[in-house]
Structure 1
Amino acid sequence: MLVDQWLDRLACLAGQERRVDDLPGGLTNHNYRVRTATHDVVVRISSPTTDLLAVNREHEWLNSRAAAAAGVGAPVVDYLAGQGVLVVGFLPGVTYAAADVAANLPRIARAVRRLHAGPAFANDFDIFEVQRGYHEIVIQRGLRVPEGYAALGESAARVEAALRRLPELRVPCHNDLLAANFLDDGGDIRIVDYEYSGTNEASFELGNLINESQLDHDHLVELVRAYYGRVDRRLLARAELWGLAGRYAWTLWGVIQHSVSTVDHDFWDFALERQALAASLFTSARLGDLLEDATSPSPPESSTTGPWRALRTGDEA
Structure 2
Amino acid sequence: MAVPEVLDRIPLLSGMPRSVEELPGGLTNHNYKVTVPGGVYVVRVSASDGSLLAIDRDAEHANSVAAARAGVGAPVHDYLPDEGVLVVGFLPGRTFTEADLRNEANLPRVAEACRRLHAGPRFVGDFDMFEVQRRYLRIVRERGFRLPAGYLDFMPMVDTIRKCLAVRDEGTVPCNNDLLPGNILDAGDRLFLIDYEYAGNNDPCFELGNIWSESDLPPEHLEALVTAYHGRALRHKIARARLLGLMSKYGWTLWASIQDGANDAIDFDFWSWGMEKYERAVAEFTGSDLPRLMEEAVRAD
The TM-score normalised by the length of structure 1 is 0.92
Partner of 2:46: 46
Partner of 1:268: 271
Q: Contact between 1:241 and 1:290, CA under 8 Å: does it hold in 2?
A: yes
Instruction: Provide, for residues 148-176 of structure 1, a one-character-per-residue CA deviation record: whole Å limited to 9, x for no partner.
Output: 11111111111111112220231111111
Instruction: Provide, for residues 29-65 of structure 1, a one-character-per-residue CA deviation record: whole Å limited to 9, x for no partner.
Output: 0111111111311111113341111111111100100
Partner of 1:314: none
- How far 1:15 sits from its partner (Å)? 1.7
**Whole-Å Cα distance in 1 between the matches of residues 81 and 94 of structure 2?**
30
Counterpart of 1:214 in structure 2: which amino acid? Answer: D
Partner of 1:251: 253
Q: Contact between 1:146 and 1:271, CA under 8 Å: does it hold in 2?
A: no
* Deviant stretches of 4+, over 6 Å: none
Partner of 1:132: 134
**Whole-Å Cα distance in 2 between the matches of residues 140 and 31 of structure 1?**
32
Does residue 289 of the first structure (1) align with residue 300 of the second (2)? no
- How far 1:213 sits from its partner (Å)? 1.0
Counterpart of 1:263 in structure 2: which amino acid? Answer: I
Partner of 1:280: 283
Local SS of the residue matching 2:50: helix
**Whole-Å Cα distance in 1 between the matches of residues 31 and 62 of structure 2?**
19
Partner of 1:228: 230
Partner of 1:2: 2
- How far 1:27 sits from its partner (Å)? 1.0
**Whole-Å Cα distance in 2 between the matches of residues 202 and 74 of structure 1?**
21
Instruction: Provide, for residues 169-193 of structure 1, a one-character-per-residue CA deviation record: whole Å limited to 9, x for no partner.
Output: 3111111110001111211111100
**Whole-Å Cα distance in 2 between the matches of residues 59 and 243 of structure 1?**
24
Partner of 2:79: 79
- Among 105, 108, 111, the alignment partner of 1:106 is 108
Q: Contact between 2:250 and 2:278, CA under 8 Å: does it hold in 1?
A: yes
Q: Contact between 2:146 and 2:261, CA under 8 Å: does it hold in 1?
A: no
Q: Contact between 2:28 and 2:48, CA under 8 Å: does it hold in 1?
A: no
Q: Contact between 2:42 and 2:88, CA under 8 Å: does it hold in 1?
A: yes
Partner of 1:176: 178
**Whole-Å Cα distance in 2 between the matches of residues 15 and 222 of structure 1?**
50
Local SS of the residue matching 2:279: helix
Counterpart of 1:117 in structure 2: which amino acid? Answer: A
- How far 1:128 sits from its partner (Å)? 0.8
Number of residues of Structure 1 aligned to a counterpart in Structure 2: 298
